[in-house]
Structure 1
Amino acid sequence: MTQARTTGGGSDRTKIIAGVAVVAVLAVAVIGYVVFQSTRSSGPQPGAAIPLAPADHVISAPAVRDGGTVLVGKDTATVTVDVYEDFLCPICGTFEKTYGTDIKKAVEDGKVKVRYHVLPMLNRLSKPEGYSTDSANAALCVADDGKFNAFHAALFATQPEEGEAGYTKDQLIKLGKEVGVTSATFESCVQNQNYKAQLDELMSKTSNDPALRDAETGRFRGTPSVASGGKLVDLDNKNWLNDLTS
């Protein structure tokens, strides 16, 4: 009898310990999920204003729209750098954080001009789809008022997550006004996607440009890409900008 009770008690203890362990594991998993959710970006909030980038992150130089691109810099600059980006592209955001200060200084010192090709490449990767076109079109609308630099810096400083919601047209319009756009046609330019056809043409031209193709795949290298003098720049070389201007 005693032995039977001992055996039974041991079995019950094993079940209890196993049950406690399972509960503990589940608790850790739940806590981990909650922490993950609290630390990840919640994405743009409906109607919320897009924060401006710090003034010292904004290039102080003329910015002029040229078709579907924007040329930033002084006329006296002898080197032109072509930068291919998408406002949703997370690696483009990293590129801007890594090289933005150096590019700003080089442009303001009159060493380079930068031609920004803001591409509608990742439209399908926002929810709803289409943020890449909306943001690129808005950037061109802003460029018509010469306010591209602050707009460009803001969209990369507080960038929507790939696979999540992008900023709405209304939010993009609010940002445009925050950076100083006063044109009476600005809102309709954003809402009606005035430059969508030019952006689609730019995307097609970029995708088929032999100078921008990856040597191994034969396809467009993707964003971010940088070219100068008709040749791709090796971004694995951290001194690429200095090499172009020295």
Structure 2
Amino acid sequence: MSEKNRVGKSSARERLREQREKDRIRAKRRRGMGVAGAVVAVLGVAAGVGMVATRTGGDAKSGGAAVAPRGASGTVIPTGKASAEKTLTVYEDFRCPGCKQFEDVFRTTVHQLQDKGRLKVRYHLVTIIDGNLGGTGSLTAANAAACAQDAGKYVAYHDVLYKNQPSETKDTYADKSKLIKLAGKVPGLDTKTFRGCVEEGRHDAWVRKSNDGFARSGYSSTPTVLLEGKSIYGDPNKPLSPRKLKRMVVKG
């Protein structure tokens, strides 16, 4: 073999090794984007938009009997009057900063529409932040919210959890004593029954089942917000505001 051919083959092998290394780094970066996306919330405060990109994975494994909270319909917690003409479907994770953004901006409007009998809300509890960042705070907080549903105080406790949400990277809600302490902000919720429900994780399997349903839904981020089955939140080209939501519900 000539010296020229040997040099040519050596260069080709070197280029192949370089390309393989680039491909390996690129693939590693893509895998990491799922985690990075969970940490960075893309928030449009002025437009009333909040969104966090995440993977739908989770470390919660299905298993055990799924004990639904009182009044739940499958894996849905319904709120508002059943006779309301419009339905808002919300997929949320209590550790998700984008979910807090949505709640902080739209909470008052949603409550007003519910109180007037215009809107009912169907909540799906999701645990994808646990899967992305590790920990159990999404699961434990969702179980506590389900325990509050047993007591007929889901909405009030749901709001307390978002108003007191810790930093996404701090798994504060994994501490059950913290969740019980927050129940003190809801009159009549901090009872022996509620404490027992939280401490034993009575609805953990049900929450996992709810998260499994989200993984199969085709949606991949929280919050996912649907009005009459149509996504209305998170599109920067069609920002949602409280006034716009009210108009969509009232005027159709």
TM-score, normalised by the number of residues in structure 2: 0.63
Task: Give me the CA root mean square deviation.
Answer: 2.1
Shift of 1:72: 1.1
CA distance in 1, matches of 2:170, 2:148: 24
Aligned to 2:201: 193
Instruction: Give the partner amino acid of 1:150.
Output: A
Q: Which runs of 5+ in 2 are unaligned?
A: 1-69
**Aligned length, in residue pairs:** 174
CA distance in 1, matches of 2:140, 2:88: 24
Shift of 1:96: 0.9
Contact 2:99 2:223 in 1 (8 A): yes
Aligned to 2:102: 95
**Correspondence for 1:160 among 166, 185, 188:** 166
**Correspondence for 2:216 among 208, 216, 227:** 208
**Residue deviations 1:110-141, cap 9 Å, x none?**
100011112122114667x1000000000000
CA distance in 2, matches of 1:130, 1:204: 16
Q: Is residue 2:243 matched to residue 1:243?
A: no
Instruction: Give the partner amino acid of 1:237.
Output: L
1:87 match: secondary structure: coil
Task: Name the larger-Rg structure.
Answer: 1
Shift of 1:82: 0.6
**Residue deviations 1:25-78, cap 9 Å, x none?**
xxxxxxxxxxxxxxxxxxxxxxxxxxxxxxxxxxxxxx9433433211123211
CA distance in 2, matches of 1:76, 1:111: 8
Shift of 1:184: 4.0
**Correspondence for 1:130 among 130, 136, 141:** 136
- Identity across the alignment (%): 32
Q: Which has the higher contact order (CA 8 A, sep 6+)?
A: 2
Q: Which runs of 5+ in 1 are unaligned?
A: 1-62, 214-219
Aligned to 1:17: none
CA distance in 1, matches of 2:203, 2:183: 16
Q: Is residue 2:177 matched to residue 1:174?
A: no
Q: Is residue 2:157 matched to residue 1:151?
A: yes
Contact 1:126 1:166 in 2 (8 A): no
CA distance in 2, matches of 1:91, 1:230: 20
Structure 1 residues 178 and 243: CA distance shift in structure 2, 3 A: closer
Shift of 1:182: 5.8
2:207 match: secondary structure: helix
Contact 1:125 1:164 in 2 (8 A): no
CA distance in 2, matches of 1:139, 1:191: 13
CA distance in 2, matches of 1:70, 1:90: 21
